[in-house]
Structure 1
Amino acid sequence: MGATVALQKAFVPKFGLDLAGGTTVTLSPVTANGKAPSQESLDRAVTIIRQRVNGTGISDAQVAKSNDNIVIQIPGAGRDEALKLVSTTAELRMRQVLAVAAAKAPPVQPSTAAPTASGSAAATPAASPGVASTAKASAAPNGNATPAGRALSKALTAPTPEPSGTKRATTSGGRAAKASPSASASAAPSSSAAPEDANDPLAGQDTSGIDQALLTEFRNIDCSAKDRGQGAIDDPNKQIVACSDDGSARYILDKAAVQGTEISGAQAGTDPTTGEWIVQVNFKSKGATQFADITRRITSLPAPRNQLANVLDGVVIVAPTIEEAIPGGSARISGSFTQVTATDLADQLKYGALPLKFRQSSVVSVSSTLGQDQLHGGLISGAIGLIIVMLYLLLYYRGLGLIGMASLCVAAVVTFLTVDVLSHNAGFRLSLPHIIGLVVSIGITADSFIVYFERIRDEIKEGRRTLRSAVEVAWRRARRTILVADAVMFIAAVVLYFLAVGDVAGFAFAMGLTTLIDVVVVFLFTKPLMSLVARMRFFAKGHKLSGLDAERMGRTGRAEQTLQEA
């Protein structure tokens, strides 16, 4: 552990909310009908958020209900990623694209030439990081000016190059897909197409099957000014209007074909061919069937209805074009991801979708000034406790007390190194309850040494053994007592850790950790050291300062003679 600390140059552990400050977030539920949420849904949301921010259980993040709100305390300053993680619902839904246009209609340019049947100039929405333009010339003025992502397809053998930074959705085992010329050419306006109006974003697009209210909302929505952090409250059983993740495109989307509850798992990784970060999504059996069915149904439709939008919390993160059915129950999302953003998205999907939408009703930064005072107080109390125990060992056991003091110092060093390694590699954050647990455990650790020393003295008092043999016989008897006592303490700590949350769980973790360290130190340091000093004349002859002298132990004449002969 010392080498790990030195290599990582992490000589100070990370501190929890009460010692280093952090952020307190209050989330208020937002329901579609405006009524109060059920307690069952709140409890499930608390569980999922706690898993997200405190998956290992030792990061000192706290999540609790407060009436109908959820209060989250996150240690450390500047935890923007964590705030996004806890406040998003991570509900991934896959919806067919019914219509698409740029976020804002481009200014109308005077036309000098009338459009012909063979082709016309079409206003094409700018491609965004979430979509790639696949527009083609056709009889429709702009029906095929479609922002579309790219999807893997086993049907394509020579994919066209992609623009830099384009996100795309892929499946397990194919190549990048593109909009087919045939589909593009066949996208002529139908009898239900929108009126030919250059200012209308729906001009030339098929609007059949779309509710009139959605068409009005689609024309009026301004995605560039929309707050897309939380997303809209979208009903999976209804068509919706949504924006792309960067606000450059707007969509009309059909009912959800695959819902996030059908996701069985998600992992972040890298594409072996390109090296870019991706998120692999696996579906349950029902979700796999639904995914295969929707890709099979829309593959032959004209653009943009052959696109399948991946919608996360009401925001379109990618809208790939589908060219063939995709069976197998596995898909992946790739694009401008970093390791952090890919891991965050995978964690959100893996830990489950929140049953409620939330808004951040308050975000408060907690100062670390008071925490520093508490830290200093905790360290001082720990040092005072350690010094008192050492003085007691020294005054009562004299020379044997030096062995106990050395064992306590070793235990303290091992504890610090363990805390430091956990802090920088397992998300552990040292808080005041942890410090209290460590201080309380000083006495528990000293008990093990006392049990061993008393066994040695009992053996010598009887006068049947020399010090060297007494050390070995006493160890066989003492270790059973030590193990039983530590086992009881460890079981109590484990039960308390799993049944409690927050500060109490932190105290239980520290107590269980020091119990394990106590066993390691006694077996690997105290016992070998005692066997070594038993060979020294200072202890073997029962020197007055050794703690094993006749006067100190009330030794019988026979016992004193036996020890002197040794």
Structure 2
Amino acid sequence: MRTLITLVVLIVALFAALFGGTKWSDATWTPKLALDLEGGTQLILAPKTEDNASVSRETIQQAIEVIRQRVDSSGVAEAEITSQGGSNIVVALPGKPSEATLDLVRTSAQMEFRPVLTYADPTPTATDGATADPSDPSATGAPDADATISPDGLATSEPTDGATAENSSASSDAVFSNAVSTGDDAVIRDAAATDDPTAEPSPSASAGTDGSATGPESPSDINYYVTEDVLQRFNELDCTDPKNLTGGDTADPDTALVTCDPTGTIKYILGPVEITGDHISNATSGIGVNSQGVSTGQWVVNLSFDGTGTDEFKTVTTRLQGLQSPQNQFAIVLDGLVISAPSLSPGTIIADGKAEISGSFNRESATTLANQLKFGALPISFDVQSEEQISATLGSEQLEKGLIAGLIGLLLVVIYSLFQYRALGFVTVLSLVIAAVLTYGVITLLSWTQGYRLSLPGVAGLIVAIGITADSFIVYFERIRDELREGRTLVAAVDRGWERARRTILASDAVNFLAAIVLYFLAVGSVRGFAFTLGLTTLLDLLIVFVFTHPVMLLIAKTKFFGSGHPLSGLDPRRLGATGGTRYVGRGRVATGRRDADPEDGGLSTENPLVATTVAGGTIAERRAAARAAAQGTAPHDAASHDTAPTDTPTDGSTPAERTEGND
């Protein structure tokens, strides 16, 4: 009973949340529909460059990935983003997208190189009212000066061991180094350096003669760029929230930038822009080689700059090589998010504009980073060729047909349940109703909180779920019937049947859920909607069976109608082949009587004792004869000896004759 109350509370809480959302937020009582059922807005974007250079397919694909990152992180689900003729980009957004979402699609993505000032774990940083010192890595949650960032974004006290990274995002264990040997790099210095070790240091560029601040010492000047406002935004930033991963940031290039990496595993404070992506001349991926031309066996990304970029990069590397971690890292920012933040190899000054980014790369991650860099090398803006409302590709008619198909399937399941299980079938019907209510509530809640949209493949997943749910009930009911055939009482059959059915139901739903997960991650487009609803309804099926169907069976087993085996209950022992309570129990033994509710003592009832008759060493025919004799209340007759077969000796010391007389 307590379990059923818990289920009621859960359903009430679910719809109470929806009610509150309709009153004080933008929730609705119906789930949002996807593009194929509702229609939406379609934009056709034509890429263009400043010098009208041709745009490669790889660049178009990278632009699509940038737009998809923006759209998905903004909470819009079931959007379709494709290329048209290998040149234009078609973006179809379901429903009525907000103007902010449309701006994210229209805005061009830019690549920038900014110095890393500090970083921390992605969650908001608790300051307890105190102002953290950004120059102290421990104050912001950043690793200490000797630490590196492992591929999963967590700080470690030891350098990485070269394990393969899943992607290139925030690959802070990567390092810049010279792609081509330029001789003794130690002789290349910053133009501001002095050869006289005894010379007095020049006055700080960030302070005037009266001590007032006039400007930063360098783009890595933490005291200048990390203001109280910047630090507060950094402490409050939560990179685990997808809304903070939309990109499209148009921050002032001369100020600090607070941002995340695209995977939401780390957050950064970055200095001003030092190099823009249009100064990249080329970027490729491949197996690295050392200065002798020998392959290192590790995947690397080779990066080269144009003339202006070469001079700027030399200035940057000259400054960074004298700084401690994390200020010796240089962030590559695409669309306002840090796609990689490699550190500079100690003592390295890159004067020829040719650099190599090495680290925990595999072939896929290295290729991805190279494509991102090439995308930044060709700054693309988009002309909106058309922006129009589109009708649903399938529409309400197809949705109506899908719902009718689901209702027909549900009706067939109900008819079969009532025909096969009679009154017990109403438990199936009621369980399906509860499952439908929960599924509708959960999908509507996800539409409000997560932007989920129901597509026609998703509706198909809901229809398939009817069969999955009904299958669980059939397994349970048939297990109960098996126990009744064994002569147990209904209460004992429900308990024992649940123990046996539970394992089967868990195994079946585990297979369905695993299939849904694999399909969700391997499929693309609207097929993922089918996988999502299939996985969701599988979990709800387990919930219904455990917290509703089984508790209800425990309750009705104690009622007179079901407990006495009424012919209309669906649990009549005679209809199940258990007439007279006689059954074959193995090894030539047949038993009469009924099982008790306690399966621990073998199910023997003290009020109606079990009588077992043994045909020692008998044939199958003799055993069947013994079963018939037991059903008629007489002892089996042995054709060879005409003797009464021995019976089990009871513990009360009575003789076989006394037992026979007592049974008669």
Do residues 350 (structure 1) and 382 (structure 2) align?
A: no
**Deviation of the 1:519 alpha carbon:** 0.8
Q: Does the 8 A contact of 1:154 with 1:175 survive in 2?
A: no
**Deviation of the 1:288 alpha carbon:** 8.7
Question: Hey, what's the Cα distance between the residues in 1 that align with 2:557 and 2:108?
Answer: 65
| Aligned equivalent of 2:552 | 529
Q: Does the 8 A contact of 1:542 with 1:563 survive in 2?
A: no
| Aligned equivalent of 1:30 | 48
State the SS of the aligned residue for 2:385. Answer: strand
| Aligned equivalent of 2:386 | 362
Given residue 448 of structure 2, which amino acid in structure 1 is its aligned partner?
H
Given residue 26 of structure 1, which amino acid in structure 2 is its aligned partner?
I
**Deviation of the 1:283 alpha carbon:** 2.9
Do residues 549 (structure 1) and 572 (structure 2) align?
A: yes
Q: Does the 8 A contact of 1:17 with 1:76 survive in 2?
A: yes
State the SS of the aligned residue for 1:360. Answer: strand
**Could you report, residue by residue, the CA deviation over 1:201-227 in whole angstroms, capped at 9, with x for unpaired residues?**
xxxxxxxxxxxxxxxxxxxxxxxxxxx
Question: Aligned match of 1:438 in 424, 447, 462?
Answer: 462
Q: Does the 8 A contact of 2:46 with 2:89 survive in 1?
A: yes
Question: Aligned match of 1:376 in 396, 400, 407?
Answer: 400
Question: Hey, what's the Cα distance between the residues in 1 that align with 2:517 and 2:427?
Answer: 30
Question: Hey, what's the Cα distance between the residues in 2 that align with 1:347 and 1:22?
Answer: 28
**Deviation of the 1:496 alpha carbon:** 0.8
Please list, as runs of the form range in 1=range in 2, the aligned pairs for 1:15-164 lying within 5 A after superposition: 15-32=33-50, 34-55=52-73, 59-68=77-86, 69-91=88-110, 93=112
Do residues 467 (structure 1) and 497 (structure 2) align?
A: no
**Could you report, residue by residue, the CA deviation over 1:262-308 in whole angstroms, capped at 9, with x for unpaired residues?**
9754999xxxxxxxxxxx96339xx79889xxxxxxxxxxxxxxxxx
**Deviation of the 1:476 alpha carbon:** 1.2
**Deviation of the 1:450 alpha carbon:** 0.6
Query: Sequence identity of aligned pairs in percent?
Result: 44
| Aligned equivalent of 2:441 | 417
Q: Does the 8 A contact of 1:456 with 1:470 survive in 2?
A: yes
| Aligned equivalent of 1:404 | 428
**Deviation of the 1:546 alpha carbon:** 0.6
Question: Aligned match of 1:8 in 21, 24, 47?
Answer: 21
| Aligned equivalent of 1:277 | none
**Deviation of the 1:363 alpha carbon:** 2.4
State the SS of the aligned residue for 2:474. Answer: helix
State the SS of the aligned residue for 1:54. Answer: helix
Question: Hey, what's the Cα distance between the residues in 2 that align with 1:58 and 1:364?
Answer: 18
Question: Hey, what's the Cα distance between the residues in 1 that align with 2:59 and 2:441?
Answer: 41
User: How has the CA–CA distance of structure 1 residues 171 and 440 changed in structure 2, closer, same or farther, with 3 Å as cutoff?
Assistant: farther
Question: Hey, what's the Cα distance between the residues in 2 that align with 1:20 and 1:53?
Answer: 18
State the SS of the aligned residue for 2:453. Answer: coil
Question: Hey, what's the Cα distance between the residues in 2 that align with 1:347 and 1:474?
Answer: 59
User: How has the CA–CA distance of structure 1 residues 406 and 290 changed in structure 2, closer, same or farther, with 3 Å as cutoff?
Assistant: same
State the SS of the aligned residue for 1:562. Answer: coil
**Deviation of the 1:521 alpha carbon:** 0.8
State the SS of the aligned residue for 2:514. Answer: helix
Question: Hey, what's the Cα distance between the residues in 2 that align with 1:370 and 1:406?
Answer: 32
Question: Hey, what's the Cα distance between the residues in 1 that align with 2:103 and 2:41?
Answer: 13
Question: Hey, what's the Cα distance between the residues in 1 that align with 2:334 and 2:547?
Answer: 40
| Aligned equivalent of 1:283 | 270
Q: Give the root-mean-square deviation of aligned CA atoms.
A: 4.4
Query: How many residue pairs get matched?
Result: 364
Unpaired runs of 5+ residues, structure 2, are 1-13, 115-204, 214-222, 230-247, 277-318, 328-332, 340-371, 583-591, 597-606, 609-664
**Deviation of the 1:552 alpha carbon:** 3.2
Question: Hey, what's the Cα distance between the residues in 2 that align with 1:516 and 1:403?
Answer: 19
State the SS of the aligned residue for 2:566. Answer: coil
Unpaired runs of 5+ residues, structure 1, are 96-152, 160-169, 177-230, 232-244, 246-250, 269-279, 292-324, 330-345
| Aligned equivalent of 1:562 | 594
Given residue 91 of structure 2, which amino acid in structure 1 is its aligned partner?
I
Question: Hey, what's the Cα distance between the residues in 2 that align with 1:523 and 1:17?
Answer: 36
Question: Hey, what's the Cα distance between the residues in 1 that align with 2:207 and 2:386?
Answer: 51
Given residue 564 of structure 2, which amino acid in structure 1 is its aligned partner?
K
Question: Hey, what's the Cα distance between the residues in 2 that align with 1:403 and 1:158?
Answer: 80
Question: Hey, what's the Cα distance between the residues in 2 that align with 1:267 and 1:556?
Answer: 66
Given residue 21 of structure 2, which amino acid in structure 1 is its aligned partner?
Q
- Using structure 1 for the length normalisation, give the TM-score: 0.56
User: How has the CA–CA distance of structure 1 residues 523 and 56 changed in structure 2, closer, same or farther, with 3 Å as cutoff?
Assistant: farther
State the SS of the aligned residue for 1:550. Answer: coil
Do residues 386 (structure 1) and 410 (structure 2) align?
A: yes
Question: Hey, what's the Cα distance between the residues in 2 that align with 1:72 and 1:385?
Answer: 36
Q: Does the 8 A contact of 2:112 with 2:334 survive in 1?
A: no
Q: Does the 8 A contact of 1:61 with 1:73 survive in 2?
A: yes
State the SS of the aligned residue for 1:70. Answer: strand
Question: Hey, what's the Cα distance between the residues in 1 that align with 2:425 and 2:481?
Answer: 13
**Deviation of the 1:17 alpha carbon:** 1.3
State the SS of the aligned residue for 1:501. Answer: coil
Question: Aligned match of 1:516 in 522, 539, 553?
Answer: 539
Given residue 544 of structure 2, which amino acid in structure 1 is its aligned partner?
V
Question: Hey, what's the Cα distance between the residues in 1 that align with 2:335 and 2:403?
Answer: 37
State the SS of the aligned residue for 1:77. Answer: coil
User: How has the CA–CA distance of structure 1 residues 396 and 267 changed in structure 2, closer, same or farther, with 3 Å as cutoff?
Assistant: closer
Q: Does the 8 A contact of 2:472 with 2:545 survive in 1?
A: yes
- Using structure 2 for the length normalisation, give the TM-score: 0.48
Instruction: Point out the more displaced range, 375-384 or 424-433.
Output: 375-384
